Copies of this chain bind each other. A is one copy, B any other.
Amino acid sequence: MYSLMERLYPLTRSITGNGTRQTLNIIKEYIPIIINEVPTGTPVFDWIIPKEWNITDAYVKNSKGERVIDFKKNNLHVLSYSQPVNTKMTLEELKPHLYTLPEQPDVIPYMTTYYKEGWGFCLSHQSFSGLKEDMYEVVIESTLSQGSLTYAELYIKGETKDEIIFSSYMCHPSMCNDNLSGPVLLTALVEGMIGKKHRYSYRFLLVPETIGALAWLSRNDNNLASVKGGLVITCVGDSGDMTYKRSKQGDAYIDKVVEKVLRDTGSPHKVIDFFPMGSDERQFCSPGFNLPMGSLVRTLYGCFPEYHTSADDLDFVKAEYLEDSLMRYREVVEVLEWNETYINQSSKGEPRLDKRGLYRAIGIKTNTKMEEAILWTLSFSDGQYSLLDIANRSSMSFALIKEASMQLVEHGLLKTKTD
């Protein structure tokens, strides 16, 4: 994942344009995504697909011909979606177009003007303070023209049409935790799943944030009934503890699954209720859809100082944290795939476990963990409790209860509930 991130890092992405297209094409080398284009001007609910933005160069040159702000050094220097500019102006005239973060004087802020025509440069407050009175040459070699918005999709068909969505976005330029960590984790997750049999169908989305999610939703508005849950993947590469932001429903199945996965780690983690700021869960959970989708991250967007600045770079994200996050996502899939509601086939009293080799023959003081897991699974497999419910009620790991259920199924003591 980290090396893919290194490849993608330099590209200048935005909600449209060739940087985004290149990003998806690189990912396509790893997993068979289908890339879609939505033309400029297409109505998308309350929105319209904007013009496509591309940029080749941008700078502010002083009278000595030195580039004091240079897009080639860091693509965050340009306010995303800036109009083309080629002019000369004084520092006083330039200042309204310069954006800095005075409270973090070392970093370049990431800013955008997607839907309002304008242009600007972002720079560290330190550099800004060093600018002298001068006549500056101000150039942005960008184009805003008819084109399209690009997004990618991948569908893994399962035994049922019931569908789980994993969605991430790839519209941010050179920043790693928010958001390259999302697409690279999604890519690795797909790599591990492709070609295997699954109960659920899985849909993976790589869309520009907000407008891309809306574009996908508008094209699939009539096919959402089969969506049984989903997660928005972002900010999964920093050193912080895992955080789960619940779906708006708050007690959806996906919420229970993710919360159990986090509890089973035994590590510190946070679970927070839905709030309508953040990423594409804003769209998926909007009242007209209210899909059961949460977001599983490490440190939440906005809660780390590097967020939306040049400091969210290849040093900030580490391969080990990406790996750890990937494990959690895989465990989510594991629970989804293996959670089952069974009916105890010997439900009056306990069955004789010792004769089946499921219990010690000599009565002693204490049970093994597996014996206890077997007893919990038998006692609660009454059709009301799924394995996940049993794992929760017993405070045992899902993995242990799953293992117990497999042994019991093998001995004919459990059968899947058919309703």
Q: Specify which of A45, A46, A80, A288 lies most central, judged by the most chain B CB atoms within 10 Å of its CB.
A: A46
B352 engages A287 (CB within 8 Å): no
Q: Does A9 have its Cβ within 8 Å of any Cβ on chain B?
A: no
Chain B residues whose C-beta falls within 8 Å of the C-beta of A376 in the assembled complex: 275-276
B109 engages A364 (CB within 8 Å): yes
Chain B residue with minimal CB distance to A343?
B287
A111 CB contact (under 8 Å) in B347, B351, B363: B363
A362 engages B287 (CB within 8 Å): no
Known A375-B277, A376-B275, A379-B276; judge A348-B111 contact (CB<8 A).
no
Segment with Cβ contacts to B, from A31-39, A151-159, A196-204, A365-373:
A365-373
Q: Closest approach, in angstroms, between the C-beta of A210 and any C-beta of chain B? A: 7
Chain B residues whose C-beta falls within 8 Å of the C-beta of A146 in the assembled complex: none
Q: Closest approach, in angstroms, between the C-beta of A367 and any C-beta of chain B? A: 6
Chain B residues whose C-beta falls within 8 Å of the C-beta of A361 in the assembled complex: 113, 115-116, 118
Segment with Cβ contacts to B, from A52-60, A160-168, A180-188, A213-221:
A213-221
A283 CB contact (under 8 Å) in B80, B344, B349: B349
Q: Does A382 have its Cβ within 8 Å of any Cβ on chain B?
A: yes
Q: Closest approach, in angstroms, between the C-beta of A42 and any C-beta of chain B? A: 14
Q: Closest approach, in angstroms, between the C-beta of A102 and any C-beta of chain B? A: 12
Per the bound structure, the CA–CA distance linking A223 and B255 in Å amounts to 42
Main secondary structure of the interface of A (DSSP, over half): loop
B348 engages A289 (CB within 8 Å): yes
Q: Does A307 have its Cβ within 8 Å of any Cβ on chain B?
A: yes
Please state the number of chain copies in the assembly.
Answer: 3
Q: Does A419 have its Cβ within 8 Å of any Cβ on chain B?
A: no
B248 engages A363 (CB within 8 Å): no
A349 engages B111 (CB within 8 Å): no
Per the bound structure, the CA–CA distance linking A347 and B276 in Å amounts to 13
Known A109-B364, A275-B394; judge A348-B116 contact (CB<8 A).
no
Q: Does A316 have its Cβ within 8 Å of any Cβ on chain B?
A: no
- Identify which of residues 99-147 in chain A touch chain B, using a CB-to-CB cut-off of 8 Å: 99, 101, 109, 111-116, 118, 120
Per the bound structure, the CA–CA distance linking A275 and B116 in Å amounts to 59
Q: Closest approach, in angstroms, between the C-beta of A173 and any C-beta of chain B? A: 13
Chain B residue with minimal CB distance to A101?
B365
A112 engages B363 (CB within 8 Å): yes
A112 engages B362 (CB within 8 Å): yes
Known A47-B352, A352-B46; judge A347-B287 contact (CB<8 A).
yes
| A-B CB proximity, top 4 nearest | A288-B348, A288-B347, A276-B379, A116-B361
- Hey, which bits of chain A sit against chain B, CB under 8 A? 44-47, 79-80, 99, 101, 109, 111-116, 118, 120, 210, 213-214, 217-218, 221, 248, 273, 275-277, 282-283, 285-290, 302, 307-308, 344, 346-352, 354-355, 361-367, 372, 375-376, 378-382, 393-394
